Amino acid sequence: MKYLLLITCFFMGLNVEGQILNAESLRMINDSTGWAGTMSAHFALKRNTNDFLIMGTDFHIQYKKEKHLLLFKNDINFEKIEGNKFENSGITHVRHNYRFKPQIAWEAFVQGQYNKVNLIGFRALAGTGPRFKLTRSEKYKFYLGVLAMFEYEEVTDDITPLQRDLRASTYLSFSLYPTEHTTIVSTTYFQPQLSEFGDYRISNQSSLIIGLFTNFSLKTTYSFIFDTFPALGIPKSQYNFRTGLAYSFD
């Protein structure tokens, strides 16, 4: 059994809470049976035309046994702009994988979230579909997921009606290990509405993890989201860049 405590000491740069959760970030490299988990806390302070103060906590655990993998994640973030009151956001995500072939697994997930900054009062997702491992090498790994999901969304811009949609959730993910102490992980999602392909979201999250010394590593992550129909007043594209220090132990 392996536990991982991830403590982000200080994030700098623009930190925008994404609307699409990167489920690949939940999967811990752990071949043993049992529990594993991560916890993190982050803080960011930035000044451009406005002053930003962002704080947050992340927590996730996984349980692995034979062909089954169960993931749970809960994130909460607080954002304050130019002395205004704190606005919060949160995501809770549960996902189950069953690997019935060496290269093929079946996934099912449920998710609930809210984001006051992006005017998402509440969004609920439930989806399922296959996940394919495209490579056999341990030096690099590529995965493809082709899922369908139901989306329920309440937007608080006083204009957008209640949304009940079926969407695809297709993703391509890869992990590279160029050196013993370096890992590169990237995932790109494409989520179109099945009845109207012009209504879609695209997101990418890429991370570079560099081992510094025993149990410590430096992690830099860049995230990008594009939504063709965001809430009124919210930009179509948003990005997030942050760097932190990670500490791990068994």
pLDDT digits (tens, 9 = 90+) for 171-215: 999 999 998 889 899 999 999 999 999 999 999 989 888 888 776
Parts of the chain with a pLDDT under 50:
1-18, 48, 249-250
Structure tokens at 108: 């099912």
Residue ranges of the domains in the chain?
A: 23-247
pLDDT value at residue 142? 96
pLDDT value at residue 58? 74
pLDDT value at residue 117? 77
In one letter, which amino acid is 163? Q
Task: In whole angstroms, give the CA distance from residue 103 to residue 226.
Answer: 30
Return all residues near 124 (Cβ < 8 A) that are at least 6 apart: 110, 111, 112, 151, 152, 153
HSE value, Cβ hemisphere, 13 Å, CA-based, for 50: 10
Return all residues near 142 (Cβ < 8 A) that are at least 6 apart: 133, 134, 135, 172, 173, 174
pLDDT value at residue 10? 33
CA torsion, points 190, 191, 194, 195, in degrees to nearest 10?
-110
Task: In whole angstroms, give the CA distance from residue 227 to residue 122.
Answer: 17
pLDDT value at residue 145? 96
pLDDT value at residue 8? 35
Structure tokens at 176: 């590279």
Q: Return the percentage of the chain with pLDDT > 70, whole number.
A: 76
Q: Which CATH architecture has domain 23-247?
A: Beta Barrel (2.40)
pLDDT value at residue 53? 73
Task: In whole angstroms, give the CA distance from residue 61 to residue 94.
Answer: 10
pLDDT value at residue 216? 75
Give kind and range of the element (H or E) at residue 106.
strand 104-115
